[in-house]
Homo-oligomer: A and B are copies of this chain.
């Protein structure tokens, strides 16, 4: 399995951020070919201090190649570019292969 995460820093307008995210970004992202699972949360905490991120999404792909291919589709390119439209505080996008440890 291959994981991609998007970690969102506090946006300028939290309500507009969430509305755009749920009404526009999620349907767009879920149209990306090869997506196996998608989860997200706007309820991010930290065990010590404050979380630097206000929202996190996590997606699953078969492997790194499938993720790379997904990002090169029109839907994938559009989804990645879409993040800039609503993540006005910035976002960190990372991906990694995962196995149960």
Chain A contact residues: helix, strand, loop or mixed: strand
Is A94 within 8 A of B46, CB to CB?
A: yes
| Cα(A101)–Cα(B46), bound, Å | 22
Count A-side interface residues using an 8 Å CB cutoff: 35
Instruction: Identify which of residues 43-57 in chain A touch chain B, using a CB-to-CB cut-off of 8 Å.
Output: 43-48, 51-53, 56
Q: Among the listed B40, B46, B101, which residue makes an inter-chain contact with A98, where contact means beta carbons less than 8 Å apart?
A: B40
- Given known contacts A3-B58, A52-B92, A80 and B41 CB-to-CB distance under 8 angstroms: no
Residues in A lying within 8 Å of B, measured CB to CB: 3-5, 7, 26, 30, 37-41, 43-48, 51-53, 56, 58, 64, 71, 80, 92-101
